[in-house]
Structure 1
Amino acid sequence: MTLAGVSRTRRAVAAAGRVVVKVGSSSLTTAQGGLDPSRLDALVDAVAARCAAGSQVVLVSSGAIAAGLAPLGLARRPKDLATQQAAASVGQLTLAHAYANSFGRYSLTVGQVLLTADDVVRRAHYRNAQRTFSRLLALGAVPVVNENDTVATEEIRFGDNDRLAALVAHLVGADALVLLSDVDALYDGDPRVPGARRVTEVEGAADVSDVKAGSVGASGLGTGGMASKLAAARLAAAAGVPVLLAGSFDAARALGPADVGTAFAVTGPRLSARRFWLGYATDTNGRLVLDDGAVAAVAGRRRSLLAAGITAVEGTFEAGDVVELADASGAVVARGVVAHDAAELPALIGRKTADLPPDHRREIVHADDLVPLPPL
């Protein structure tokens, strides 16, 4: 396939001036858990070529825990958090050193950025991370990002680096996201089973409605699997970032003509940093269930949510918290900053604004503090 014959999405990925590239543990390590220098060098070759072509690249790299297994004498990825953190502590040094040496072959400087979910959930941390990435890229460095597994707890983990990559893609204002896997593309089932169909272009939800993606990587070294990659690709595409999912062994072509793997077309507008944070990065503390009219107004026309359109209140939250807005079936259609405490709302729901007490005659969620969400 030549570049002239590929989709508009692939052309956008190939021409992107700023690219986030994510690579998983299984693409960098051996079955025993140690780093595979030849695989890492091949990845760096592809990234360096893209940099030489004029693009800025942010590399989101798994592999710290896996890289720490062999030095600690561990036969497999540990399940308990404390041992995972210990392995990450050893492995992060190994991984960073390997990247620094490999990129050094091209006189490229590497900067390590370790993030926890708290760094994107908290607005001030989010903005600080943006400034750090911006300065690293302006200075010509290649940021290498990983979840800070040495300090992350179950309550603040991203869960997998695929979602982290999607969040970073928007945080840095990337023009494209490339997810590299140990599978060459998205399939509608297990690619190891005969009859699985390869999906080459995803224009919207209908193109992946029949996909049954697994949740665990085949190697046992990673945490994501195809399900997390699919979710991350759709998240990024919904927020205005085109995505290419390809095999790590095809990294040179994925970062070159982009004529391999599965391309995900943009399905939503590029959001401001604040609206992206509100819609996708921050935690929610409760849920408001809406009637059909309110769903149409909020999700379809991005109007403020009024008390008359609410049918139920779930969870415990305070004014100023972010809540989910859901339809009668439970599907989340938007997120927004609620203007009332949860304890106040039961007495207000279903009532017209004119019938409310004077001190409660305001929007429940104002349109300026609301982000409709496309189906994921």
Structure 2
Amino acid sequence: MAKKKRIVVKIGSSLLANEEKLTLRFAFINGLLADLAALQAQGYDIILTSSGSVALGLNMIGKRPEDAGILDKQAAAACGQPLLMNAYRQVASEYDMGVAQMLVTVEDMEERCRFLNIKNTMLRLFENNILPIINENDSIATTDLKVGDNDRLSAKVAQMIEADQLIILTSVEGLYDRDPSKPGAQFIEEIEDVSEHLESTKSVSELGSGGMMTKMLAANMAQNAGVETIIAEGLIEAPVSSVLRRERRHTRCLARDKTGSPLMIWLSNRLQVSGTLVVSNAAVAAISSKERGLARNDLVSIQGEFSKGDVLHVYDEEGNEFARGLTNFSSEETILMARNPDMQVEDVIGYKTKSDIIGSENILILEDHHLQLDAPIDDAQPVISV
């Protein structure tokens, strides 16, 4: 039996909600689900990543997008999510489709066990030909604890289920080399290296949490997981199948060959920084070549509160991120070990274990195609010098 093709479709608030009235565009939902039902019948497994709950709930709490604060948006999400899912359920029933809701937080996507549990749920829904509709749990998300945008969430989901394609539907045809309203703007049909196009992508829509920049970041995450990304206009007939058949203009971000294990791919695509380590320049070469893990004697400074099993970002002394890895210790234990390098690990932290802060088997060395993250500047979590 041939393996089913898997696609993740992401739609934003600007497609789902009328910008002035903040009401649902039922015609769009009807056209979208008709298209997805046809693709399911052709043998596709599909996940829909859907924004819209905040935009739809703002009317109920008497707010506009431009003057809504974080608490307003949380309340609006709680009001809007039932409206959104009810609309999906009603329309899907016309096409004999089953739908399921999954709300996630950044912690769900960044903690390895939760990540795998979400994946297993999605695979079981596929077995029953049910369309999972996934969104960030905006009613509890804050500016500090959130996936950040559903573009990147959709890329994490695509990585999770080993999708063939990520299709991001938006209000424009795709990517231009500059603001498309400027003279001489050129449409870009195909991208191999996303990093070359980041500077031209900094506009933000009124209803959405990000513009083309977040779509490029999502495309980079998908590329590193071996997933092709398509960015295309959504307000059009058969919005998904028409780009799959290449019947209209769109931007295609090519996938890279999968070279890493699922764990390494997961490490490469981070949504949030749990903590950072700065190591001496003298240790960088040995760690980068996987000759050994990251030892306590390598540490120059530590920032952030983290737990055993969190993903840490590793920098050299010039501030260049060169690795990410799963820590064997909490931040408190790491500080104690780094400040007592001559003591046995068991004597410092009270139990016997491996001495490496991050083992070589759990380190990803970043390559040119990985977008590096700047070290966070957080006065609430000062840098601890070793």
TM-score, structure 2 as length reference: 0.80
In the alignment, residue 223 of structure 1 is paired with which amino acid? S
CA deviation after TM superposition for structure 1 residue 229, in Å:
0.8
Alignment of 1:153-192 (within 5 A): 153-192=142-181
In the alignment, residue 20 of structure 1 is paired with which amino acid? V
Counterpart in the other structure of 2:375: none
Secondary structure of the residue aligned to 1:183 is: coil
Residue from 15, 39, 42 that aligns with 1:50: 39
Change (3 A) 1:73 1:197: same
Alignment of 1:1-376 (within 5 A): 17-32=5-20, 33-76=22-65, 78-205=67-194, 207-208=196-197, 211-217=199-205, 220-249=206-235, 251-252=239-240, 253-257=242-246, 260-267=249-256, 269=258, 271-281=260-270, 283-290=272-279, 294-299=283-288, 301-307=289-295, 310=298, 312-316=300-304, 320=308, 321-339=310-328, 341-345=334-338, 359=345, 362-374=355-367, 375-376=370-371
1:303-361 CA-partner distances (Å, limit 9, x unpaired): 4334499462231556834321123442322211234613432665xxxxxxx666599
CA contact (8 A) 1:302 1:367 kept: yes
Q: Quote the Cα distance in structure 2 between the aligned partners of 1:72 and 1:105.
A: 31
Q: Quote the Cα distance in structure 2 between the aligned partners of 1:89 and 1:68.
A: 7
CA contact (8 A) 1:316 1:342 kept: no
In the alignment, residue 106 of structure 1 is paired with which amino acid? Y
CA deviation after TM superposition for structure 1 residue 270, in Å:
6.1
Q: What's the C-alpha RMSD, in Å, of the aligned pairs?
A: 2.9
Number of matched residues?
351
Tell me whether 182-191 or 304-313 shows the greater mean CA deviation: 304-313
Q: Which runs of 5+ in 1 are unaligned?
A: 1-14, 349-355
1:59-108 CA-partner distances (Å, limit 9, x unpaired): 00111111223344434355322221222122111111111122222211
In the alignment, residue 213 of structure 1 is paired with which amino acid? T
CA deviation after TM superposition for structure 1 residue 136, in Å:
1.0
Q: Quote the Cα distance in structure 1 between the aligned partners of 2:219 and 2:106.
A: 18
Q: Quote the Cα distance in structure 2 between the aligned partners of 1:227 and 1:42.
A: 27
CA deviation after TM superposition for structure 1 residue 18, in Å:
0.6
Change (3 A) 1:93 1:198: same
Change (3 A) 1:64 1:205: closer
CA contact (8 A) 1:313 1:345 kept: no
In the alignment, residue 188 of structure 1 is paired with which amino acid? D
Change (3 A) 1:291 1:263: farther
In the alignment, residue 69 of structure 2 is paired with which amino acid? D
Q: Quote the Cα distance in structure 2 between the aligned partners of 1:150 and 1:308.
A: 40
Q: Quote the Cα distance in structure 2 between the aligned partners of 1:273 and 1:171.
A: 9
CA contact (8 A) 1:20 1:169 kept: yes
CA contact (8 A) 1:294 1:305 kept: no
Runs (4 or more) in structure 1 with deviation over 6 Å come to none
Tell me whether 84-93 or 277-286 shows the greater mean CA deviation: 277-286
Q: Quote the Cα distance in structure 2 between the aligned partners of 1:319 and 1:75.
A: 39
CA deviation after TM superposition for structure 1 residue 27, in Å:
1.2
Change (3 A) 1:204 1:50: same
Secondary structure of the residue aligned to 2:56 is: helix
CA contact (8 A) 1:78 1:84 kept: no
Change (3 A) 1:90 1:206: closer
1:274-318 CA-partner distances (Å, limit 9, x unpaired): 43443334754432334666545544x444334499462231556
Identity percentage of aligned residues: 32
Change (3 A) 1:342 1:318: farther
Q: Which runs of 5+ in 2 are unaligned?
A: 347-353, 372-386
CA deviation after TM superposition for structure 1 residue 367, in Å:
1.7
CA deviation after TM superposition for structure 1 residue 232, in Å:
0.9
User: Which structure is richer in relative contact order (CA contacts within 8 A, separation 6 or more)?
Assistant: 1
1:118-176 CA-partner distances (Å, limit 9, x unpaired): 21123332222112111111110111111111222333211111111111112222222
Q: Quote the Cα distance in structure 2 between the aligned partners of 1:72 and 1:331.
A: 45
